């Protein structure tokens, strides 16, 4: 997808619709949609120039009842260190206006992993399972 924030919402809606068609509840699909939004938006805002001239790659699939999603950015933004080095287990200060996205992704995901790519970007992998399947 192009590195434009305008495409984040449509990606979320497609994922939510696909999950609901696979039997996920509306609430579980919405939680997954929130995770997708945060990961894809971070890739665009922080992992690229966010000018539409680059691509963020979104790959996903179902393994049983688990959604596995990989989001790869080109690394031309803040760089992967800002993503990879962040402690996502600690919530940001209550008075902070930003910084909750990766914390939420960590809390809502069954598995959350970040790594650098050989080309200088980063890949975020999240695995999500509907609550009813836990």
Over residues 83-132, the pLDDT tens digits come to 888 888 988 888 888 888 999 999 999 999 999 999 999 999 999 999 97
Over residues 12-38, the pLDDT tens digits come to 999 999 999 999 999 999 999 999 999
Domain boundaries of the chain, sorted by first residue: 5-133
For 5-133, CATH number out of 3.30.565.10, 1.20.120.1200, 3.20.20.70, 3.30.750.24 equals 3.30.565.10
* pLDDT for 134 beyond 60: no
pTM of the model: 0.92
Label residues 2-27 b or e (16+ Cβ within 10 Å = b).
ebeeebbeebbeebbeebeeeebeee
């Amino acid at each position: 997808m192009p590195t434009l924030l305008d495409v984040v919402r449509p990606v979320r809606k497609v994922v939510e619709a696909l999950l609901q068609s696979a039997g996920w509840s509306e609430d579980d699909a919405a939680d997954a949609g929130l995770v997708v939004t945060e990961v894809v938006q971070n890739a665009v805002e922080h992992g690229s120039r966010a000018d539409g001239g680059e691509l963020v790659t979104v790959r996903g699939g179902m393994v049983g009842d688990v959604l596995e999603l990989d989001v790869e950015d080109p690394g031309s933004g803040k760089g992967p260190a800002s993503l990879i080095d962040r402690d996502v287990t600690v919530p940001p200060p209550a008075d902070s206006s930003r910084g909750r996205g990766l914390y939420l992704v960590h809390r809502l995901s069954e598995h959350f992993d970040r790594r650098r790519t050989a080309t200088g970007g980063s890949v975020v992998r999240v695995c999500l399972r509907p609550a009813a399947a836990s």
